[in-house]
Structure formats: structure tokens, C-alpha cells
Amino acid sequence: MAQTKTDNSFLADKIALRIRHLPKGDVNVLDCFAGTGKLWDAVQETTGRTIRVLPIDKRKDINRFRLPGNNLRFLQTLDRSST
């Protein structure tokens, strides 16, 4: 029987992976499948680091700030160069 995947499958592993690879200093994240923000909220809470997240998600049931819509369309219009 196939296992049902959820938005937060392997959440602890995803958090640990991001913590392990955080650059030094403040962090800016473009989260293209942000959902309810659990992942980056947990990273920030665990590390105590300043992490600014720009979330994108097309789900209509999310009651927090996000760019609503298809992330591919946003990515085509955003300047993703480092400054």
C-alpha cells in the first residue's frame, strides 16, 4: 500500500537539513512552497537566528502573509540576483 504524503512529511529531517546549511549572518529565504510556514518558523525558533522569509503558496486556506499564487510565475518576475 502506498504511503500518503503530507505537507510536513519528514519535518524534523527538513528542519535539521536547513539548520545544517544555514549561511552565517542574517538569512533571507524565498520559500516557494511555504504552506503555513512551520518549517522556517521551526528553524528560526531552534537557532534563534534572524530569518526573513518571503513565502509563496497558492493554497487559499493559509491565514498569514504570503504571495498568493503559482510560484513559477513569481520566479519569472523576481530579481533573484544577490545584492
In a domain, residue 2? The reply is no
In the structure, what pLDDT confidence band is assigned to residue 5 with cuts at 50, 70 and 90? low
Q: Give the pLDDT confidence of 26-36 residue by residue, as tens digits.
A: 999 999 999 99
Strand ranges (DSSP E) for the chain? 27-31, 51-57, 67-68
In a domain, residue 50? The reply is yes
In a domain, residue 5? The reply is no
Mean pLDDT of 19-31: 94
pLDDT at position 52 over 90:
yes
CA atoms within 13 A on the CB side of 62: 18
- Domain extent at residue 55: 24-77
What percentage of the chain carries pLDDT values higher than 90? 58
- Number of structural domains in the chain: 1
pLDDT at position 37 over 60:
yes
Whole-model pTM: value is: 0.79
In a domain, residue 42? The reply is yes
User: What are the cell numbers at 11?
Assistant: 519535518
What is the C-alpha to C-alpha distance for residues 60 and 4, in angstroms, rounded to an integer? 22
